[in-house]
Amino acid sequence: MNEDLNDLQDELTDDDDVITLVGQDKQEINFVEIATIANRGHLYAILQPTVLLPGMQEGEAIVFRVERAQDGSGDTFDVELDDEVIDEVFAEYQRLYANASDATDGE
């Protein structure tokens, strides 16, 4: 998995979207959006911090469950803690990434 994320990170440019999230301690953390995946009727974002966070290794990413605000005030991103859901989200990402790679190889 880390190799796929590293490959994708190498393709990222300064023009890619950076998402800034504010933690419980009010500290802003910038992330690059790797993918948005629908799973089990919910929306998940795979985000990679622009600066390595404590306890993380190079190429790792975090899965967030995205809750859409009904009033349009902004989305809520909560770290997904369920290992089964995380595995499903990454498996779907890998499937989509492989399909996209196959499609570009055929061009």
Model pLDDT for residues 73-99, shown as the tens digit of each residue: 788 999 999 999 999 999 999 999 898
User: Which residue is associated with the tokens 């061009």?
Assistant: 107
CA–CA dist 32, 104 (Å, integer): 22
- How many domains does the chain fold into? 1
Residue 2 has pLDDT above 60, yes or no: no
pTM, whole model, 2 decimals?
A: 0.77
Residue 72 has pLDDT above 90, yes or no: no
Query: In sequence order, what DSSP letters do the residues of 43-74 get, joined into one string?
Result: EEEEEEESSPPTT--TT--EEEEEE--TTSS-
- pLDDT, greater one: 39 or 15: 39
State the residue range of the domain holding 50: 2-105
Model pLDDT for residues 28-68, shown as the tens digit of each residue: 999 999 999 999 999 999 999 999 999 999 999 999 999 98
> Where does the pLDDT of residue 7 fall: very low under 50, low under 70, confident under 90, or very high at 90 and above?
very low
- pLDDT, greater one: 47 or 24: 47
> Where does the pLDDT of residue 107 fall: very low under 50, low under 70, confident under 90, or very high at 90 and above?
low
